[in-house]
């Protein structure tokens, strides 16, 4: 062999070996070489490769599943503020909220000093049938101690498939005995309408917490229980209602509008325009409608309020709504996780989209409410940041605006006086809830005997001077004290809030709203407006 050739062979081999390593790296990492040979490198493959490289070669160990979920979260979060990822561990809770029910034993409980106290039992529910009573202290479920477990862990033990059984042991303070129960799990309603009652002889009140699959049926039951002939005015309270199902909002709105009116329409890049019209149902025909909203009323709440306003059907009272006009579609994945993907925008009857801008990112989007405070809108309607270029007219000539929530017809400012600083501290610290629960727990039997129903309690129970002293002492023990002598208006607010919390533990959420609405400015404005028109 030629001497020169002998020398070149190892050199050439070494060059190709080095080149091979380099080419292999390129082919693994991207499509540069792939393009030379017309090999298609898909986005799916690229994303998978990156995740694999990180999980195998990153300097520190990483959980591949967690890495994938974070990647999906970031990916969806980069689209808009409402496209989102729901991990498998959270999907059940999300779907329970949407469906309006779950499978469990039917109790309301509270963790109190590492003890699980049964606050209330659902009438004719599984726990009631098994013999569990309010006041019982749950000790274990299926042999697993419930002491010091977090709320999610307790719920996982008590919930389960319909018809399945769980063995529960509980200590009963009234007879100082441990009782054992075998409970067959059943369907437990997760009510979305948390309160309805007659305010007076002409006005009904109905509080909708969210728009779930069961809300429409709950609404029909509520108004028929109240009696359609018992009222001519109806207050629909959507304050702090973050939305829910579009179809539910449409069905509910249908009962308020005459036939042939536009409720809402949706349209997206890959979604044809779909218009929802009212039918001939109109259960609320002839009723005067007043809708309560605030800055936390969003999505389906805004669809309902927008349809009422745009069709000149009622009066919107409160403060400008959140401003969510994007429609999400939930897609369940193979591992029981899900994504909520924005697929369309919705538009009210006049053609306005009330979605507020989100081009500055998610943080700015959600902090926009804070800007309303700083700009003065929360205390003065004239300071509202309304886009005059997005002006629309209803059939009767009323001016409405798009581009950032629904501006109410009757504005109610937020009370931001210094007197509320102490009250807010009581709320945030948990002093209210803790004190109310302890009072309820110690006096439950006496209170139920003296006040057999929520109406008796609402009309006759008084927060005495002693109870107030004990509450203020409990607050002081936590370092919470008023900066000055409390005015009578603030003392009244505190007394009503405490009374409402005790009522909630005794009778449920309806009793809570019957009492707390006495201090709700927007509710009181509505009642006054119905009477005086001002």
Q: Could you read off the pLDDT of 251-260 as tens digits, one per residue?
A: 999 999 999 9
C-alpha distances (whole Å) from 371 to each of 28, 82, 295, 364, 367 are 48, 20, 12, 9, 7
Positions of CATH 3.90.226.10 in the chain: 193-411
Class of domain 193-411 as given by CATH: alpha beta
**In terms of DSSP bridges, do strands 410-411 and 262-268 run parallel, antiparallel, or are they unpaired?**
unpaired
Mean predicted confidence (pLDDT) in 454-475: 95
**Highest-pLDDT range among 314-318, 392-396, 420-424:** 314-318
Residue 127 contacts by C-beta under 8 Å, 6 or more apart in sequence? 105, 106, 107, 118, 121, 181, 183
Residue 385 has pLDDT above 90, yes or no: no
Positions of CATH 2.30.42.10 in the chain: 101-189
Predicted confidence at residue 222, as pLDDT, reads 98
Choice among 14-28, 125-139, 441-455, 463-477 with the minimum mean pLDDT: 14-28
Predicted confidence at residue 425, as pLDDT, reads 87
Class of domain 101-189 as given by CATH: mainly beta
Predicted confidence at residue 394, as pLDDT, reads 94
DSSP-derived letter for residue 193 is: E
Mean predicted confidence (pLDDT) in 158-186: 95
pTM of the predicted structure, to 2 decimals: 0.90
Mean predicted confidence (pLDDT) in 282-305: 97
Token duo for residue 364: 């700015």
How far is residue 22 CA from its own chain's centroid?
53
Question: Do the Cβ atoms of 231 and 204 come closer than 8 Å?
Answer: yes
Residue 431 has pLDDT above 80, yes or no: yes
Predicted confidence at residue 9, as pLDDT, reads 38
């Amino acid at each position: 062999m030629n001497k020169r050739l002998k020398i070149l062979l190892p050199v050439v081999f070494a060059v190709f070996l080095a080149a091979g390593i380099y080419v292999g790296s390129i082919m693994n990492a991207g499509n540069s070489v792939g393009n030379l040979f017309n090999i298609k490198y898909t986005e799916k493959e690229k994303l998978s490769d990156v995740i694999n490289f990180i999980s195998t070669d990153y300097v520190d160990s990483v959980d591949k599943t967690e890495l994938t979920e974070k990647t999906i979260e970031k990916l969806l979060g980069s689209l808009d503020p409402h496209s989102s990822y729901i991990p498998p561990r959270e999907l059940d809770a999300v779907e329970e909220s949407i469906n309006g029910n779950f499978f469990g034993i039917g109790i309301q409980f509270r963790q109190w000093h590492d003890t699980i106290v049964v606050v209330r039992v659902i009438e004719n529910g599984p726990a009631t049938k098994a013999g569990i009573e309010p006041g019982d202290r749950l000790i274990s479920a299926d042999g697993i101690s419930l002491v010091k477990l977090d709320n999610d862990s307790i719920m996982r033990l008590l919930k389960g498939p319909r018809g399945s059984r769980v063995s529960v042991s509980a200590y009963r303070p009234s007879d100082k005995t441990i009782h054992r129960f075998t409970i067959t799990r059943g369907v437990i309603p997760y009510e979305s309408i948390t309160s309805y009652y007659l305010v007076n002889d002409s006005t009904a009140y109905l509080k909708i917490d969210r728009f779930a699959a069961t809300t429409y049926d709950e609404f029909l039951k509520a108004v028929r229980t109240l009696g359609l002939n018992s009222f001519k005015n109806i207050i629909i309270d959507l304050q702090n209602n973050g939305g829910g199902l579009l179809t539910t909002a449409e069905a509910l709105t249908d009962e308020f509008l005459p036939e042939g009116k536009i409720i809402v329409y949706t349209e997206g890049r890959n979604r044809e325009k779909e218009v929802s019209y009212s039918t001939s149902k109109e259960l609320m025909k002839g009723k005067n409608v007043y809708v309560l909203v605030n800055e936390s009323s969003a999505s389906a709440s805004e669809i309902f309020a927008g349809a009422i306003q745009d069709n000149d059907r009622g009066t919107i009272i409160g403060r400008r709504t959140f401003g969510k006009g994007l429609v999400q579609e939930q897609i369940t994945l193979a591992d029981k996780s899900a994504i909520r993907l924005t697929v369309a925008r919705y538009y009210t009857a006049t053609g306005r989209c009330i979605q507020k801008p989100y081009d500055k990112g998610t943080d700015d989007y959600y902090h926009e409410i804070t800007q309303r405070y700083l700009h003065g809108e929360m205390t003065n309607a004239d300071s509202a940041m309304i886009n005059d270029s997005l002006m629309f007219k209803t059939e009767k000539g009323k001016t409405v605006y798009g581009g950032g929530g629904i501006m109410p017809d009757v504005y109610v400012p937020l009370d931001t006086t210094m007197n509320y600083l102490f009250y807010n501290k009581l709320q945030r610290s948990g002093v209210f809830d803790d004190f109310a629960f302890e009072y309820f727990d110690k006096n439950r039997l006496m209170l139920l005997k003296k006040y057999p129903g929520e109406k008796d309690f609402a009309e006759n129970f008084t927060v005495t001077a002693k109870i107030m002293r004990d509450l203020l002492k409990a607050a002081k023990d936590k370092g919470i004290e008023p900066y000055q002598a409390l005015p009578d208006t603030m003392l009244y607010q505190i007394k009503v809030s405490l009374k409402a919390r005790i009522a909630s533990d005794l009778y449920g959420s309806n009793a809570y709203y019957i009492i707390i609405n006495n201090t709700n400015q927007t509710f009181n404005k509505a009642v006054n407006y119905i009477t005086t028109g001002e």
